[in-house]
Structure 1
């Protein structure tokens, strides 16, 4: 919320109940953020001069702080009705509408603000946020870009514009923007994390590794960053270095299924069958609620089938062919077009038939 108060000195020996006295008093109290004591002076000033738009704006701010949003809207609209050029009231009414999710109504008031003050970087950012909510992404990009041009170190539009670029697959632009942002905000984990994601998606794993390392150095509780560190290590052929990262991520957040999956797959690939079984079955518990597999097969997403396949291999290597067969058959129930699993099933020893007695009981 923006106030239009300017410090003024009360005239000597002024009337204690005059408009100027109450105005001077409430402006002083507003600057001190003492809204409770300011309110009666605002009300009294309006009783004396109901046409004074700035006081309606101030009363609107008070109502907003009190969460009386309906009355705040009335006050801001009254201020604008009395003085359409009162830019603070336009900003406040726009901000109120934005907070209430009424983005379409907010935009015209923000437009009045930037028309009067083209250097208002904060309002351009708010306009961008409104456009994002309205799915007007081209306009949002323009507003965020202008906000960032006016205030290059303003973090909010940088983050929003980066998210927009990433959503549109414009990864080089997102990366360049984040690198510029880190010059103004060195060491912010959020920026390093997002840049790491951008670089990882572009398969620039070594650079991504450096960004995720910066994240965990500054935010040691970021389980996602530890998991991504592991994924980058695997992509670079550094499986031994990946294991502690996956393990740390899974330890910090036991419900973080990507880290549990990655750790189980790593154990499988390293032929550590017992550890792979424990870890992959834990992943299935998290995903399906069952110890081994769900009663009703989920839609095949490629991951569940892979887990059943890996578990089948683990049990086959341990000599538990019945369990291996069960798991591989379950993988096939998700996707019949898996030639490799069919070949594995053919490779398995056939179950022994129960001998049939030819003796006739008396």
Structure 2
């Protein structure tokens, strides 16, 4: 198999056979001429069903995750919704992480629950707790590793063994790790989910999602359902994502370098009571993460020693760390999950601490990021 960066730059992206253009074209056409009734050229008849720019992106994503099939979506939640409506029926049950992404929890708890789908939040690092939560009606175990925003780590191979023994499917949201740091299909996952808005796109200029699987039958169902509901990205969005993924490897190395510096600063600062980063030896998931990840990622969370007010003050005082939702772009972001990305979990078992601050560490000069965050922390020490 070719190396990661080679696949990121070339998979699905051969030079144009007519012009020799080395960059994939943006095919804006909504419809395609047919050679007689039913004479479809190359599988393209209408761009909701298939588009050449989207095909190039899908082939690249499949190659990066080591899967046979990839489907690109208009958003990560569009991908999540499509997959769950395929795998679940009224009366079915799924397991979700006890610290799942707020958008995933909202979809499961507020939308799917209205159609009779039941769910149980579980600490997926605790395999006994997972076994206890499984039911005869369990169809899906949904995992994030690392989790958003508490940076929990789950053993993907271990989850796969338990899930498959119960006759269910394991889905892994690989957004925080990206395919550069972790490939869940190789560890036994059935489906990988991405918000390609984040590290895959990497420049905070496009929203997208993806599903990748080796399961031929499931891939056919995804194709049918996606076409039926129309949850597809436009060609320019697909092109932006494809452009971003070319530099994923070099970006992730810099994200990881900078995150390690930030975690070191946080661990030594009196304004911080706890640092959540799997790269730290004291993190409960450190050994598992070291086993299944290339490096530990660019996301760092921490608890402010002064509680909620201190957390909000820190968020307000940074200059290079921009106060904003989302993550995974080249610029550094800071947010207060309890009132921003994870507000939907308030009052539930998944409610996050009000002293929690989440950092998406970008690829700026590390010294500048350290100085910016230290200055903000010093305002509440």
Q: TM-score, normalised by structure 1?
A: 0.23
Tell which has more relative contact order, 1 or 2 (C-alpha 8 A, sep 6+): 2
Q: Higher helix share goes to which structure?
A: 1
Q: TM-score, normalised by structure 2?
A: 0.22
Q: Higher strand share goes to which structure?
A: 2
